[in-house]
A and B are shown apart, each in its own frame.
Chain A
């Protein structure tokens, strides 16, 4: 016979399970299952016209990622895919740094405004979300192309010669990524700056810190959680971005996302696409792990 205490504990356990189950089911169906399918696909042989040959297992996709099979079937180290990974990583890091550099002053400016003005400005930051990303990227094409608005504008003041040469380059992809992800950096930094007790800054001034010292010693450290959140929100989607390099890179400046799309599309190599996606996934996991460890460390000191 169970004691009343044991019964109560069991009832509570059941209640908890009942509450957790729906979200667990959603995760299982929409996250774990697709990942498992992808993992399976990455270890299969590619079908002749897309799809896979079920039941024919091979690690070929992962070998393909690093090596090329020569005519005599020997493996030769090939850095083509790694190069694209490196470019993606570089562009994502640059985008994140750029967003930090532009986003922090913007967020600081926002946080220092009066409440009324602040709400208007915050609304303006979110205005781009009201238009489809595709439309906005096409607008950038109009701006950046040779003879486009920027080019002809520069021509008017005698600086351009009608051959700006930015569109379909890494620079254009960079501009597009920066533009797309800037709000995701501004908003979290703004949130942490808005919570900041400005009397602390006053106290720093009072103790002889000039504006730069107050920024470095008080405002930046206290805005760090927002900057870390913003970094995660920008870096991860920028790393796997597909649409910006597709449209502004013109298929020349490929990123991982385009490569994956290519394998599932015209290259008819689903296993390689899946393997590439898993490589991207592990990069993202590494970034998250790094961020998580940093945050743990900063909270550890706090306690």
Chain B
């Protein structure tokens, strides 16, 4: 697969060079053609800066951005075949919906009839065929979001950038739009770069995810890779729920702080961190780990047990509430936890 965007040692520094705040620190990245790529990270991690650099709203301090092989970093935003769906939507308030959607094509000097036809097609694509003559501020949040999407797609960019585009919507609408976005991406065949701090959103929508923190990319991979095999504690902590246990690794297993043993192969000997997903382990009488119940939280589809394990409190075990599977446990009960070695990820930290 050819690469749509290729970023080489991109840095962005605000303030005085050398001592300013580094929003991006030597980032390199390949984004493939026709990919739904997500930049995921907490606020302030540099993901929006990276997006703005690709769009051309800001100039990098150093590095190269290539779009289908062509260097982009010196082109102004209006010369880049890249469109953005803004977090605030940024619809033009003094224009109708149709004028908003047709704006990009009009700037390209396309004939009126062609613009009208494209606007109509775009409105059908985002399933809002009847709002063409309305003003942008007469629409609901979800409708504005769709129009912003239609406007960005109308001039057929090679790459579409989405800056936290769903975060202003309520839960239900967001779920619908997630599916809608995936459908649009498949239908248009345009490369989508999506920025979000919502890990669930990233996991459900993306082909690949780049996890960012403090101006650096920590890990790039498919949602499964990121979730199943996080490279370090920050990634494991940011994506989903994770229990961390300090342990000491030796040849055939690891020893926890209180002396309990777990059989898992560690790549390195010495002090390690065990990352264990709460839904991969279960409470069973035959379990290998000893724990004490601190709290039982009933969440409907499953029950969350907060345990004290190896002197560490807040160890989570998530159990599905199957028929007849209820275990009437209460605070202070001793339990055993079944931890299959496949559920443990050993991080050398």
Q: Does the CB pair A208–B88 fall under 8 Å?
A: no
Q: Does the CB pair B90–A222 fall under 8 Å?
A: no
Asked if A57 is at the interface (CB within 8 A of a chain B CB), the reply is no
Q: Does the CB pair A208–B92 fall under 8 Å?
A: no
Q: How far is the CB of A46 from the nearest CB of chain B, in Å? A: 53
B138's nearest neighbour on chain A, judged by CB, is A303
| Of A6-14, A173-181, A194-202, the one touching chain B | A194-202
Q: Does the CB pair B93–A205 fall under 8 Å?
A: no
| Of B103-111, B202-210, B333-341, the one touching chain A | B103-111
Name the A residues within 8 Å of B76 (CB-CB): 205, 210
Q: Which of B77, B108, B135, B152 has the most CB of A within 10 A?
A: B77
Q: Does the CB pair B135–A302 fall under 8 Å?
A: yes
Bound Cα distance A206, B107 (Å): 11
Bound Cα distance A301, B83 (Å): 28
In chain A between 203 and 244, which residues have their CB closer than 8 angstroms to a CB of chain B? 203-210, 213, 217-218, 221-222
Q: Which of A202, A207, A217 has the most CB of B within 10 A?
A: A207
The one of A199, A208, A301, A302 in contact with B78, judged by C-beta atoms closer than 8 angstroms, is A208
Name the B residues within 8 Å of A221 (CB-CB): 94
A206's nearest neighbour on chain B, judged by CB, is B84
Task: Tell me the count of chain A residues lying within 8 A, CB to CB, of chain B.
Answer: 19
The one of A200, A205, A301, A302 in contact with B92, judged by C-beta atoms closer than 8 angstroms, is A200
The one of B77, B88, B135 in contact with A205, judged by C-beta atoms closer than 8 angstroms, is B77
Name the A residues within 8 Å of B152 (CB-CB): 206-207
Q: Does the CB pair B92–A206 fall under 8 Å?
A: no
Q: Does the CB pair A208–B57 fall under 8 Å?
A: no
The one of A197, A203, A217, A222 in contact with B84, judged by C-beta atoms closer than 8 angstroms, is A203
Binary A-proximity of B67-90 (CB < 8 A = 1, otherwise 0): 000000000111000111010101
Name the A residues within 8 Å of B137 (CB-CB): 302
Given the known inter-chain contacts A202-B57, A205-B78, A209-B103, please indicate yes or no for A218 contacting B155, CB distance below 8 A: no
Asked if B55 is at the interface (CB within 8 A of a chain A CB), the reply is yes
Q: Does the CB pair A207–B103 fall under 8 Å?
A: yes
Bound Cα distance A155, B56 (Å): 50
Q: Does the CB pair B86–A210 fall under 8 Å?
A: no
Q: Which of B93, B94, B151, B152 has the most CB of A within 10 A?
A: B94
In chain B between 235 and 260, which residues have their CB closer than 8 angstroms to a CB of chain A? none
Q: Does the CB pair A222–B86 fall under 8 Å?
A: no
Q: Does the CB pair B93–A202 fall under 8 Å?
A: no
Q: Does the CB pair B94–A204 fall under 8 Å?
A: no
The contact sample of 18 A-B pairs, CB cut-off 8 A, is: A200-B93, A202-B77, A202-B90, A203-B84, A203-B90, A203-B91, A204-B103, A205-B76, A205-B77, A205-B78, A206-B57, A206-B78, A207-B107, A208-B155, A209-B78, A209-B107, A213-B107, A222-B93
